[in-house]
Amino acid sequence: MSAARTCARTPKTIAAESVLRRHAALDPSSPPPMLYRWFLRPLLFLLPAETAHHLAFGALRFATAIPGVTAVLRALFRPRDPALRVDALGLTFDAPVGLAAGFDKNAEGHDALLAIGFGFVEIGTVTAQAQPGNPKPRMFRLSADRGLINRLGFNNRGAEDAERRLAKRARARGIVGVNVGKTKIVTEDAAIADYEASTARLAPLADYVVVNVSSPNTPGLRDLQAVEKLRPLLAAVQRTIERTCADRRPALLVKIAPDLSDDDVDAVADLALELGLAGIVATNTTIRRDGLRTPDDVVKQIGAGGLSGAPLHDRSLAVLRRLRARVGDRLVLVSVGGIETAEQAWQRIRAGATLVQLYTGFIYGGPTLPSRIARDLLTLAKRDGFTRVSDAIGADARATPDAHPR
C-alpha cells in the first residue's frame, strides 16, 4: 500500500550515493545515459524482445535485493520536489509519471521500479487463473519506429500468486495499482465472475484498480467495451470492491483501446460518469499498422498483436483530448501511449491528463527515463508560468471551447 516508511540514510548509503552520482550513467541530471544508449541497449536488442525484458527486469530485481541498493536508488532517483506532487484517486503521487501495466505482470519488482523514479507502478494484467499466454515468439521490436508489437496474451501466474506477493509489501512506500483482465479460457458469459474473483483477491491490497477490457490479444476481450456489456461488468467489480475493502476502497478505473470510434469513446466516458468510476486509462495498444517506417513485409511477417510506442502517440493524444472535452475534470484521466519525453508528458498533462504512464518509451529510453522526465516537467512548468505541475492539468482544454458538448 502507499503508507510511507522513513528510510534512514546510513554512512554507507551516503558514500554509495556519492560514488553513483559521479557515474554519468546513473546521474538523473545527465542526458540519456551513454552507458545504456551505446552499450546496454545495443546488447539487449541483440536478444529476442521478451528475453531481453526478462533479463533486464531480473537484473534490476537482483540488484535491489542487495541490502542498501534500493535505498541508494531512492536517494538518487525518487521524486522529491513538492511541485511534482499530484493529489488524485484519494492518493498523493510523488510525481505524475508512472509505469503502465504489462511490465511487471506478477508483482515481482514494483518496489524496485518505484526506487528508480516512477511516481507509481501498475502491475498486471493479472487474471483470476494462472495462464501461460500465447505461443512464443510473441514480442517484437520495431526499432525504426521506436515501437513494439506484442501478443503476449495476459501471461501471468494468476491472482492468488499476485495476492501473496502484494501482501508482503503492505507497509512499503509508493503507490501500486492493479490491472485485472479476463482469463483466456473463461467464456464471455462467465467473464463477470472471473473479474470478480481477481478483484476480490487484489483490491484490498491495491492503491487503485484498473479493469482491462482493451487488450487485442485475448479473443473477445475488446467486445466487453460495448456499453451494454461493460456496464454490468464494471458494476460487479464496484460491488466486489465495496464488499472486500471495508477500511479503504481503492479507486476504480477502466482501460480503453485507441481503436474505439469517437462515439464509442464518448459512450464509455458517459458510462464511467454514470457509474461513478474514478477515471479512465487511455489507451491500450492498437491493432493498426499505418504510417510505420518498418517495411511492410517485416510487419506482415510479425503478424497479429498490439502496437505500442511512438506510432501510438497521435491517436492516444486524440483520445485524451476527446475524453477531456467530454468529462472535464470529473474523471481522472491517465494517458499512456507513445510518451518518450518530458515535452510529450507535459503535452498530455496540459491536454487533461492527471497522470501519465510509460511502457515502450521506458524500454527505449532506459532506466533513468522516469526521473529525467519528472525533473524536466518542473522546468516546463516553470517555463509556462505554473507553480506546480498539477496546476497545468487541462490548461489547453480550458483555453479552447468544448468541442464535444454533452
Whether 276 shows a pLDDT value over 50: the answer reads yes
Q: Which helix H or strand E contains 282, and what residues bound it?
A: strand 279-282
Q: What is the pairing mode between strands 147-150 and 97-99?
A: unpaired
CATH number at residue 152: 3.20.20.70
Rounded to the nearest 5°, which phi and psi values hold at 219? -55, 130
Assigned domain for 60 exists: no
User: What's the average model confidence in pLDDT over 358-384?
Assistant: 97
Rounded CA gap, 106 and 283, in Å? 21
372 secondary structure, DSSP code: H
Residue 158: domain span: 78-398
Tell me the per-residue pLDDT of 2-29, one tens digit each, with 9 for 90 and over: 443 334 445 544 444 443 343 333 333 3
Using one digit for the tens of pLDDT, what is the confidence trace for 208-254? 999 999 999 898 889 899 999 999 999 999 999 999 998 889 999 99
Would strands 120-126 and 91-93 be described as parallel, antiparallel, or unpaired? unpaired
Binding residues for FMN: 101-105, 125, 179, 212, 255, 283, 309, 338, 359-360
Instruction: Please indicate, yes or no, if residue 54 is contained in any of the structural domains.
Output: no
Rounded-to-integer distance, Cα 89 and Cα 279, Å? 8
Element (H, E) at 356: strand 355-358
Number of H helices, E strands in the chain: 16, 13
Length of the chain, please? 406
> In the structure, what pLDDT confidence band is assigned to residue 36 with cuts at 50, 70 and 90?
confident
E-only strand ranges, 151-245: 175-180, 208-212
Residues of the chain with pLDDT > 70, as a percent, come to 90
Q: Give domain status of residue 257, yes or no.
A: yes
The answer as to whether 380 is a domain residue is yes
Annotated binding site: 101-105, 125, 150-154, 179, 212, 217, 255, 283-285, 309, 338, 359-360
Distance in angstroms between the alpha carbons of the first and the last residue of the chain: 37
Report H helices in 78-158: 110-115
Q: What pLDDT was estimated at residue 32?
A: 53
> Looking at the whole model, is its pTM more than 0.85?
yes
Q: Which CB contacts under 8 angstroms, 24+ apart, belong to 161-166? A: 161/106, 161/130, 162/106, 162/107, 162/123, 162/124, 162/126, 162/201, 162/202, 163/201, 163/202, 163/205, 165/106, 165/107, 165/108, 166/107, 166/123, 166/202, 166/205, 166/206
* Residue 356, strand partner residues: 97, 335
**Helix residue ranges, H only, 206-308:** 227-244, 262-275, 296-302
For the segment 57-114, what is each residue's pLDDT rounded down to a tens digit? 999 999 999 999 999 999 999 999 999 999 999 999 999 999 999 999 999 999 999 9
Active site residues: 215
* Percent of the chain whose pLDDT exceeds 90: 84
Candidates 27, 2, 345, 329; CA nearest to 171 is 2
CA neighbor of 218 nearest in space, from 179, 252, 266? 179
Query: What total of structural domains would you count in the chain?
Result: 1
DSSP classification of residue 390 = G
Whether 20 and 76 have beta carbons less than 8 Å apart is answered as: yes
Provide the annotated binding site for substrate: 105, 150-154, 212, 217, 284-285
For the chain, the average pLDDT equals: 91
Helix (H) or strand (E) holding 315: helix 313-327
Q: Per the domain annotation, does 70 fall within a domain?
A: no
| Cβ pair 309, 360 in contact under 8 A | yes
Residue 1: what pLDDT?
A: 54
DSSP bridge pairs for 121: 99, 176
- Give a yes or no: residue 259 inside a domain: yes
Q: Please state, in angstroms and rounded to a whole number, the distance separating the CA atoms of residues 170 and 163.
A: 11
- Do the beta carbons of residue 121 and residue 113 sit within 8 Å? yes
Is residue 43 a part of any domain in this protein?
no
pLDDT attached to residue 309: 98
Q: Supply the DSSP symbol for 329.
A: T
Does any domain span residue 46?
Answer: no
